[in-house]
Amino acid sequence: MRLDADWMSRADDRILEYLSEAGPDTPKQMADSGRVRFSRQHINARCKKLVAYGLLVHLGNGVYEITEAGRQYLNGDLDARSLDGE
């Protein structure tokens, strides 16, 4: 069971799942894929928040990748409430 935090939104799990399966990608490509059913702008904002909490890393040029902490969260091994944002 995943343990999310108050700062998380519904989009966050979809973004993390997508990047876990597809590998590094941009918010535009995530939105265009149809697998993350939110606007590019919303995905971009959520990616920035996930970076601040250490679940994603920004590789540059708008490309994001899931971190080990992000994978642990997806597996239910990390309580997102324990993360400190920047």
Q: Which two tokens stand for residue 30?
A: 């995530």
Strands 56-60 and 63-66: antiparallel
pLDDT digits (tens, 9 = 90+) for 3-36: 999 999 999 999 999 999 999 999 999 999 999 9
Q: Rounded distance, CA 12 to CA 37, Å?
A: 11
Whether the model clears a pTM of 0.85, i.e. scores above it, the answer is yes
